[in-house]
Structure 1
Amino acid sequence: AYGRAAGPFADGVDPADLRASGAYQVVTPDEAVALVRGLGRDRTFILTPLLGGLDPSFAWKGLRLFEREVWPHVRDLAD
């Protein structure tokens, strides 16, 4: 029904559970740079800041961290 969370993370997200699932990677900025650069130009990197119920303020912190510490090192791949 509309207005009700659904799916595997409907009751919230525990970072340890995400790491254990193997479906998502939780990485440091340096690891993110290596991951994205390792993909190269012909691959897609998907950033999921609002995964299943994460607090938006936490998601914004992650996006700002990506912008500040990862994007400057990988932006050349977007050209």
Structure 2
Amino acid sequence: MGMPLELNTMIVTKGKEKRLKDNLFLLTKNGYRLYPLNIPIEVRSFMDSDAKATACIKKLEWENEKTIITYELLSLNSIN
């Protein structure tokens, strides 16, 4: 039996991100997800919304059927 895994090429926050400090954020997603590390990717509030920022994922953790990512904002496209 295999492990369900989703490959993501953008960060979709749905407003659940938590600021750790300055431009560093933490986001917990349900399920096991794989993201590219240390390269710029889009940050969106929802899948069908416009990109609101560009970020680099610095840390990716899998635990208890959840994915926890720590990312750093590189640029902001909007203040909302």
So what's the TM-score if we normalise by structure 1? 0.27
User: Per chain length, whose mean CA-contact separation is higher, i.e. which structure has more relative contact order (CA < 8 Å, sep 6+)?
Assistant: 1
| Structure with the largest fraction of helix | 1
The structure whose Rg is larger is 1
| Structure with the largest fraction of strand | 2
So what's the TM-score if we normalise by structure 2? 0.27
